[in-house]
Structure 1
């Protein structure tokens, strides 16, 4: 049996991992799509269908896009330029420190990989004091 860290990631993991980080609050976004924040700054949110993220074959807007903050453009580029990665971006997010992933593609990464991305999203948005404290408590984090 595969360990939790090596099993395929699921949508419910995004919610659980975001809520497991310290001082995270969840706000109901538009149409009931949650927005996870730390110190009033969003770190993960479930996006409404928008014209910039769509199926190239049908033109249908993706209705399962999750936005995750990243530390910087270098990290973003590393994630979206890897052809094997489910992460992507759109022109709307050009220059924005975040990546997008479709919920339907989360199974292409492991729970452990998703945990790292959510933790990194939190670290990129938390205050310096909170970030330092968390890193001291999680030296491998």
Structure 2
């Protein structure tokens, strides 16, 4: 992921960016935490504390983990192995096409970086038709801005 300069991202941006994608439905997860879906498939969700994600010093469960889908293992590794990003994973997510991000660390990302990750999460779960339409619209908008 190319590091972009933009204002710092916020947790509200996660919600706003997910909701800005087409055909998004928000369902209430356990304990009222939002799950953002496209076509019935989750692409961003705020998960409950679990024993696989704990503070290494206090052993307290993280209560602010956000799960974001990725296209494939290569994209996942690119994010979690880059020491300049706050993304991580746990053994529970081995083989699962997603990365984890603590809400308390969202501000380590620029808005543009977060937007790219949320949009990629949507693209990873959207149907081929929806994906193609959205990508075509983005290309068209970029062309309009360039002229």
TM-score, structure 1 as length reference: 0.95
Displacement after TM superposition at 1:83 (Å): 1.2
Report 1:39-118 matches (<5 A): 39-118=39-118
Structure 1 residues 56-81: Cα deviation after superposition (integer angstroms, max 9, x where no partner)? 00000000000000000000000000
Number of residue pairs the alignment of both structures matches? 136
Displacement after TM superposition at 1:6 (Å): 0.6
Displacement after TM superposition at 1:84 (Å): 1.6
Report 1:101-140 matches (<5 A): 101-139=101-139
Structure 1 residues 99-122: Cα deviation after superposition (integer angstroms, max 9, x where no partner)? 000000001000110000000000
Runs of 4 or more, structure 1, over 4 Å off, are: none
Structure 2 residue runs without a partner (length 5+): 143-147
RMSD of aligned Cα (Å): 0.9
Displacement after TM superposition at 1:97 (Å): 0.3
